[in-house]
Structure 1
Amino acid sequence: MKIIILGAGQVGGTLAENLVGENNDVTVVDTDPTRLRSLQDKFDLRVVTGSGSHPSTLEEAGAEDADMLVAVTSSDETNMIACQIAYTLFNTPNRIARIRASDYLRDMDKLFIPEAIPIDHLIAPEQLVIDNIFRLIEYPGALQVVNFADDKVSLAVVKAYYGGPLVGNPLSTMREHMPHIESRVTAIFRQDRPIRPQGTTIIEAGDEVFFIAANQHIRAVMSEMQRLEKPYKRIMLVGGGNIGFGLAKKLEKQYSIKLIEHNKERAAELAQQLNNTTVFYGDASDQELLAEENIDQVDLFIAVTNDDEANIMSAMLAKKMGAKKAMVLIQRRAYVDLVQGSVIDIAISPQQATISALLGHVRKADIVSVHSLRRGIAEAIEAVAHGEENTSRVVGRTIQEIKLPPGTIIGAVVRGDEVIIANDNTRIEQADHVILFLTDKKYVRDVEKLFQPSPFFL
């Protein structure tokens, strides 16, 4: 596939890295030649220096015969104009844009249509992060929760701790503990190395366990790996930008929310716009302010400013002063690995959320959604099975008959409204939504080929 990426920042660079590794023909466009040179030194791709919204730049990048344009520059306006020009002048068939400003998103149904601004798929990073954090708040103790098949089934990641009934026991005993609940452990990472789960595999404290279950059973399965945490009640947010405001708006009806914003005018705006949130003007690293607001009674401290260092330091201070858990938003990928699992319980990467959303649109075959896991090493995919037994490598076959790539497990099949937790004898049917987990994403292309029906396959 010939793909043009506009923007060589963290998202554009990471996306290029992903797509080049899957044998796509990638061209990256940016106004900064230093960034482009750095990418070209690392990966096998073309670069073009110039503005992505200029017709001459798009022409040089090969828009006339490109299969897809992905506009992820830091400017919403550049992304929108680039999609308009690609559609009008070059007839580029697929156009994806990252749009961040809430003003545009408010009227997205009227704006982003072929007759107005022709964007096929819209990626809104702030909303993705809000949804991601909200799911983690719904499931205290989870490191990551991703939904599939219209929220019928989820893949959750939890760390196993002493006190969980399954810890120190083989996986096969989980069925004895929960005879009426279907779930499947799709992977275990032990000291950063993947272990293929089998019935005889002993769960050890410290294991990162990935499992699939119907949404209503997620907490029950989590209780096998660790003592269930009590639902959060009191939450403190730091940062009143789009993410902080969106989170407060979504949470304030169910939880007791306090929000700290360091800009006086913005704090006054938020106080007017939020109904049940207590807004403070101040600095989240001010010990007196935190003490006055009873930080020691806070169940969850969430720092979502656009300053990584401020988020990390305020969260560390909050934990030291008694906050039970801390979650931070981190832009720099290197920082995510440094802080997660230390004093800070969960690090949220907006880039990772954005890449997941983008990959779902870029993949071949009928891929409904993609979720990047373990900082991009692993991947979970929802693919739709098409064809008949003589045209498909999966339809009409049991899972044990399907030649899955190494490190790939089918965790669940969703058939209409029915969630089927997969086993070796599960048979795939036409139109099934199949949830797969890959411990090594380099085999993504092989999975795509599996789900691409061919008239020549017999």
Structure 2
Amino acid sequence: MKIVIMGAGKVGKVLCRDLAEENHEITLIEKDAKTFQTVLNQYDITGVLGNGASYDTQMEAGVNTADMFIALTDNDELNMIASVLAKKLGAVKTGARVRNQDYSDLSDLMRTSLDINLFINPELEAARKCMQLIEFPLADSFESFANNKPPIVELKVSAGSNLGGKSLIDFRSSYKNLIVCCVMKNGEIIIPKGNFIIEANDHLFVTGPMSELVKLYKDNGQQESKIRSLFIIGGGLLAQYVIKLFEKSNVTIKVLELNHDKAKLLSRQFPKIEVIEADGTDINNLREQGAANYDAVLALTGIDEENIIISMIAKSLGVKKTLTKINRTEVIDIVEPIGLQSVITPKRIVSDTILQYVRAFFNSQGSNVEALYTIAHDQVEALQFRVKEGSKATLKPLRELKIKKDVLIAYIYRKNQTIFPTGNDRLMPHDRVIVISYNGYLSDLDEIVL
């Protein structure tokens, strides 16, 4: 597809890379010459230097013949104006990054009146991810699927856990409806087979019914308990969206914000929560404010290093759940040995949201991918396919199919029933199937079969 991206900020760069890797024809519009040249040198894309809301610039970028135009600058109004212009010029689909809460609250009305197909809010999407991890606190990461399909959750195998030393064959005997989709071992990704041996400190990415997932965590030495109190450091936009999502719940919230004006504004916006003007990276402040007495600490400042330090301090104080906002994805692998629990990366979350939208649109034009999700620090894809009549994947039971290396079938969704397959199961036409791939981009289910 021909896609024009306006803005090469954090999200724009990630999207340029991801969409170019899927062989889409990408044109970047960026007004900063240095940023523009850097991105063009990094990825196989073309570009136009200039103002993306300008008629001449959009015409030079070929917006009039584009399948999709996505505006991702840090200016909400500019993004909306550019998207409206792009649609008038002939772009089939348009999307705009809009972070302001006033606009987000009116997104459905504005989508209709401005004819913008997709409103993208990184902080709101990240806040929803925070909410998932708070509602299922046992998981280090949690990837949900549409229509209440089983999620994929992350579990770090504890030292002394009953899971250590088990092969996947034994694992499946103990947990009939759980599938280990992939394993991260010492930073290496493995799509495991039955003879794989689970060891302490392995990160397992598992799918299955919630009741069995809870049992799995219990066997790993983790007890299920609801999060009833949040201690948030950093009163920025992400924190505000998190507070708003929990506003009508019984969850107690305290916020530490160093900036006087921000703390005052936050206190006015949310009079029912406690806002303290203090430095959340100071262990003495965290102790004085009783961080250890809260069920979860959310480190949501704008500085990655501060957030990492805050989570480390919270962990040392005995807080059972920490969420750490990290903007730079390259930092995640570096801090892996530290043992951070749940990491929130807004630019990656919103990039995945856009990719899902692009894939859905691409599907309507011939691709068979219905949805795309990423797990294991975005190194592994979980793809949803609909099984077509005559597919090679339906010819034999799964144990007889020659499936490509680093590909696994997580589960089958058939007539409102979820099947966690064994080798005796087989795919049927009209099934929906979740495929795990560490083997590059798949556009058709038949590509998993050799």
TM-score for both structures, normalised by structure 2: 0.89
CA contact (8 A) 2:389 2:430 kept: no
Deviations 1:8-48 (A, max 9, x none): 12211111111222222111110012112112222221111
Corresponding residue for 2:338?
Answer: 342
Deviations 1:58-105 (A, max 9, x none): 11111122222122222222221222111112x111222222111111
- Going from structure 1 to structure 2, the CA distance change for 1:320 and 1:212 (only over 3 Å counts) comes to closer
- Structure 1 residue 299, shift from structure 2 partner: 3.2
For 1:209 and 1:88, locate their aligned partners in 2 and report how far apart those are by CA, in whole Å.
48
Q: 1:213 aligns with which of 208, 211, 231?
A: 208
Matches within 5 A, 1:350-365: 350-363=346-359, 364=362, 365=367
**Paired letter, 2:127:** I
Are 2:371 and 1:369 equivalent residues in the alignment? yes
Moved more, 285-294 or 53-62: 285-294
- Structure 1 residue 226, shift from structure 2 partner: 4.6
Corresponding residue for 2:389?
Answer: 388
- Going from structure 1 to structure 2, the CA distance change for 1:39 and 1:270 (only over 3 Å counts) comes to closer
CA contact (8 A) 1:267 1:279 kept: yes
Corresponding residue for 1:455?
Answer: none
CA contact (8 A) 1:303 1:329 kept: yes
- Going from structure 1 to structure 2, the CA distance change for 1:295 and 1:122 (only over 3 Å counts) comes to same
Corresponding residue for 1:239?
Answer: 234
Corresponding residue for 2:139?
Answer: 142
Corresponding residue for 2:17?
Answer: 17
- Structure 1 residue 437, shift from structure 2 partner: 1.2
Moved more, 225-234 or 354-363: 225-234
Corresponding residue for 1:200?
Answer: 195
- Going from structure 1 to structure 2, the CA distance change for 1:37 and 1:87 (only over 3 Å counts) comes to same
Corresponding residue for 1:282?
Answer: 278
Matches within 5 A, 1:316-335: 316-335=312-331
- Going from structure 1 to structure 2, the CA distance change for 1:161 and 1:319 (only over 3 Å counts) comes to closer
For 1:149 and 1:420, locate their aligned partners in 2 and report how far apart those are by CA, in whole Å.
16
Deviations 1:243-277 (A, max 9, x none): 21221233362433211123334434433443653
Matches within 5 A, 1:69-84: 69-84=69-84
**Paired letter, 2:98:** I
For 2:54 and 2:295, locate their aligned partners in 1 and report how far apart those are by CA, in whole Å.
50
**Paired letter, 2:383:** I
CA contact (8 A) 1:355 1:372 kept: no
- Going from structure 1 to structure 2, the CA distance change for 1:273 and 1:393 (only over 3 Å counts) comes to farther
- Going from structure 1 to structure 2, the CA distance change for 1:8 and 1:284 (only over 3 Å counts) comes to same
- Structure 1 residue 348, shift from structure 2 partner: 1.4
For 2:333 and 2:212, locate their aligned partners in 1 and report how far apart those are by CA, in whole Å.
29
Deviations 1:83-135 (A, max 9, x none): 2111112x11122222211111101111112xx21222222211211121122
- Going from structure 1 to structure 2, the CA distance change for 1:62 and 1:397 (only over 3 Å counts) comes to farther
For 2:15 and 2:3, locate their aligned partners in 1 and report how far apart those are by CA, in whole Å.
11
- Structure 1 residue 197, shift from structure 2 partner: 1.9
- Structure 1 residue 401, shift from structure 2 partner: 6.2
For 1:131 and 1:48, locate their aligned partners in 2 and report how far apart those are by CA, in whole Å.
34
- Structure 1 residue 393, shift from structure 2 partner: 4.3
Deviations 1:395-444 (A, max 9, x none): 6765456665431111012234311112334333444332111124x2x1
CA contact (8 A) 2:230 2:296 kept: yes
**Paired letter, 2:196:** T
CA contact (8 A) 2:29 2:61 kept: yes
CA contact (8 A) 2:152 2:206 kept: yes
CA contact (8 A) 2:110 2:116 kept: no
**Paired letter, 2:191:** R
Are 2:449 and 1:437 equivalent residues in the alignment? no
CA contact (8 A) 2:368 2:445 kept: no
**Paired letter, 1:382:** Q
Corresponding residue for 2:149?
Answer: 152
* Identical residues among aligned pairs (%): 28
For 1:237 and 1:342, locate their aligned partners in 2 and report how far apart those are by CA, in whole Å.
21
**Paired letter, 1:99:** V
Are 2:112 and 1:110 equivalent residues in the alignment? no
For 2:446 and 2:68, locate their aligned partners in 1 and report how far apart those are by CA, in whole Å.
21
For 1:194 and 1:329, locate their aligned partners in 2 and report how far apart those are by CA, in whole Å.
23
> How many residue pairs end up in the alignment?
440
- Structure 1 vs Structure 2 CA RMSD: 2.5
- Going from structure 1 to structure 2, the CA distance change for 1:225 and 1:194 (only over 3 Å counts) comes to farther
